[in-house]
Chains A and B, each alone.
Chain A
Amino acid sequence: MEKSFQDRLLVMFSWGCALLLFTGLMVIVGFLVVKGYRTINLALIFGDTRPLDAFLLRQQVFGGLFPAIIGTISLILLSIGFALPMGLASGLYLAEYAQPRLKLFFSLMVDILAGIPSIVVGLFGFSITIFLHHSFSNRIFPCLLISALSLAFLVLPYIIKTTQNAIESLPLQVRLTAPSLGATQLENIIFVLLPSALSDIVSGIVLAIGRCAEDTAVIMLTGVVATAGIPKSVFSNFEALPFYIYYIASEYSDQSELMKGYGAAIILLVICSGLFALAHWVKLQIDPKTQFSY
């Protein structure tokens, strides 16, 4: 059948959009690589310290990005560690347990939470810290733990929404299988619903990881600093790659420092890509649909 004019227009438009997106991405990545590839070496990460000494924490790293990398990774792990159980449980509640009216109300709340700008979340974390400092202990300061909790707040809606949608979009057949065999609601959730929805839930976790890795506004107000070394505990200050990039971009003193900023951006990109690839791999491993694709 001859394609109509509208059909062709739509196809052209879709191709155009895809091309634009791809070009944009390539320009950004290309720009970073061209500007920064010369700085990528062990010294960028470890400064003058021997890598093994840095890993074993035998020697502090000065002038390298190692503390910022460790800071960012610990921040991601902590935030996701807080947000994941809460998000899963809330999503499950909304999908399986909530009465229609409560569900409407809580869904609206989650949407509002998703719409809060990160700088506001950061201010909130900061205010809470001040409040705690004044009312409980004057040893409470902005730190890794508070940053991670604030970030967890920021990414919670992604995890709640994807969990809820993943479970609600399971076909009725799947939902009724276990109950029809005598499973209780909890057994149905644990043995059938969660495992069936898990690969979709992973997509939400990936989004959350990305958000934790790149966010600057929240951590800027809640504990990140330019030089702190590797965080000694969750109660200490920390360094992070996005903040380092922001800091260099706004206050670099010479060309070599600026180059290090580009290097940091590339490393951040690599870490994120690595985490996404890992999440994608996990997704493939647990998705029953892709395991037997013939």
Chain B
Amino acid sequence: MGNKIKIQIKDLWFYYKAGPILENIHVGIPENTITSITGPSGQGKSSFLMTLNRIWQNIDGASVKGEVKINFGNGFKDINYPNYPLPQLRKKVGMVFQVPNPLPTSIYKNIAFPLKLIGEKNRKKIFPKIEYALKKAFLWEEVKDRLKEDANVLSVGQQQRLCIARALVLEPQILMLDEPTSSLDETSLEMIEQLLLKLKKKCTIILVSHYMDQIKRIADKKLVLSNRQLKQQEEEDPLKKKIDTPL
């Protein structure tokens, strides 16, 4: 196996209101790979992502039981431990939503927002980080002359890349994307796939997607969520080989 495990999940249950959405999930997610999650809609793929940065705590009626251990470089720690510092967790586990959600402010301020949250005030330090994140998300060339413009004037594809750039500006170790290409055209879709392939060298990526061909193109580990269970996807041999080759 080429890759160490980054996230180790044991006996994880997710409940919404009274009913369980996820039951007894056991899975390990390897470092520096793209792990895809597919499955019928409404079965809890987004809920699964929410258990990895504990954002479910911001949703009324959601609750979680079980272990989610993540190794951020200093050994596996269970993020469901009550005192686990959430802001720090969420800075290391970036999340990109299905529908782009730029803040109602300028392009610049959108990317600067996470930096503002960590207390970075020095503009000289902020600007290179913004440039870096936008370049990584293949958006720099399109917006470099209009950083002061409102983020809502961008096309949906650009907005999605803006949200990816915003998630990247703090250099997260894990990046979760919830059907990031579902509202995009062919070109933006390709751009984002290229971006993910490049990103995985530095980052562990978890991608929820409906597109089987997209998964075939870029995913290293393929999971299927159905009937509240998360399972390895049945594989054809050549693809399986691809996981085992070191990256």
| Residues of A in contact with B (beta carbons under 8 Å apart) | 100, 172-184, 187, 191-192, 195-196, 288, 291-292
Contact = CB atoms under 8 A, between A and B. Distances in A.
A223 B167 CA distance: 57
Contacts of B97: 173, 176-177, 180
Contacts of A192: 103
Contacts of B95: 180
B91 interface: yes
Nearest to A179: B58
A249 to B, nearest CB: 47
A191 B150 contact: no
A177 B90 CA distance: 11
B90 A172 contact: no
A288 B58 contact: no
Interface of B: 53, 55, 58-60, 86-91, 94-95, 97, 99, 101, 103-105, 113-114, 116-118, 150, 152-153, 166-167, 170
A178 B167 CA distance: 11
Contacts of B113: 178, 181, 191
Contacts of A191: 103, 113, 116
A172 B60 CA distance: 11
Nearest to B61: A100
A177 B86 CA distance: 14
30 contacts: A172-B59, A176-B55, A176-B97, A176-B101, A177-B101, A177-B103, A178-B113, A178-B117, A179-B90, A180-B53, A180-B55, A180-B97, A181-B113, A181-B114, A181-B117, A182-B114, A182-B117, A182-B118, A182-B170, A183-B87, A183-B117, A184-B87, A191-B103, A191-B116, A192-B103, A195-B104, A196-B104, A288-B104, A291-B150, A292-B153
A188 B75 CA distance: 30
Contacts of A288: 104-105, 150, 152
Given A173-B99, A182-B170, A288-B152, 16 more contacts: A172-B59, A174-B101, A177-B97, A177-B101, A178-B113, A178-B117, A180-B53, A180-B55, A180-B90, A181-B90, A181-B117, A181-B166, A181-B170, A183-B117, A191-B103, A195-B104
Which of A176, A179, A181, A184 gathers the greatest number of chain B CB atoms within 10 Å? A181
Contacts of A100: 60
A23 B54 CA distance: 56
A182 B153 contact: no
B157 to A, nearest CB: 17
Nearest to B167: A181
A100 B104 CA distance: 29
Given A176-B55, A288-B152, A292-B152, A187 B117 contact: yes
Nearest to B176: A180
B52 to A, nearest CB: 11
A233 B101 CA distance: 49
Which of A100, A172, A177, A180 gathers the greatest number of chain B CB atoms within 10 Å? A180
A182 B152 CA distance: 22
Closest 8 pairs between A and B when the two form their complex, measured CB to CB: A288-B104, A182-B91, A182-B90, A180-B95, A182-B87, A173-B101, A181-B114, A177-B101
B114 to A, nearest CB: 5
Nearest to A195: B104
A283 to B, nearest CB: 14
Contacts of B170: 181-182
A183 B152 CA distance: 21
Nearest to A173: B101
A181 B101 CA distance: 12
Contacts of A173: 97, 99, 101
Which of A182, A195, A291 gathers the greatest number of chain B CB atoms within 10 Å? A182
Nearest to B60: A100
Nearest to B95: A180
Contacts of B105: 288
A78 B36 CA distance: 58
B246 to A, nearest CB: 32
